[in-house]
Amino acid sequence: MPALRWQLNFIDLRMTSSVTKVHNVVFVLGPPGCGKGTQCARIQKDLGFIHLSAGDLLRAERQREGSQYGALIEEHIKNGTIVPVEITCKLLENAMNASPSAKGFLIDGFPRNQDNLDGWVREMGTKAKVHFVLYLSCPEDVSTSRCLHRGQGRTDDNEESLRKRIQTYHNQTLPIIQHYEALNLVREVPSIETPDKASCRSFFS
């Protein structure tokens, strides 16, 4: 299937807003199956941060009737590759602007590569402040087993797509974690077992 072409026309993604607040952001990163969604749900419940999953936002946009980006997003999700950063940033910005009084936002699964990071700085650098990166580390065999057995019906939880996602994580996302680690902005929580709530809570005090 030839690569789908896309144009930077965000008419259907934009929302009119006069919000000037700088949003508080924590990036939540880790390999597939490390428990990002589970941990974010707990932090949201206990500490009042709003959980925004970049993947969930993209999947919702893919399914939205009339979306001009649905087929493009579908192709990237099935191939385990990364959706153009401008689309992801706009979806994240819209979601944050929809909750202007929020204490902060947990952004799960983003930035996933250098292009994501550069796009975030370009698109959101004056609109959001990244306080730190919550890194959920997990051995590859554990994360693979979790993905194949979690039964969520996701099109990217098959063995071939999962292999590509793990390769993408090692080649492209780990360097982003290392970038923030060099800035002393990484807070690591081993997730071979379900992380204890207290181990994450201390980072938000």
> Could you report the average pLDDT of every consecutive run of 10 residues in the chain (205 residues)?
41 44 94 86 90 92 90 87 90 94 94 95 96 90 76 59 85 96 94 63 77
Q: Which domains does the chain have, with CATH numbers?
A: 23-204 (3.40.50.300)
Tell me how far apart the alpha carbons of residues 26 and 153 are, in angstroms, rounded to a whole number. 28
Q: Which two tokens stand for residue 160?
A: 């071939």
**How many Cβ atoms from other residues are within 10 Å of residue 139's Cβ?**
13
| pLDDT at residue 89 in the model | 95
Distances (CA, A) of 175 to 6, 31, 180: 27, 13, 9
Amino acid 150: pLDDT: 64
Instruction: Tell me the angle at which helices 54-63 and 85-97 cross, rounded to the nearest 10 degrees.
Output: 100
Provide, for the chain, the percentages of residues in helix, strand and coil under a 3-state DSSP scheme, each rounded to the nearest 5.
Answer: 50, 15, 40
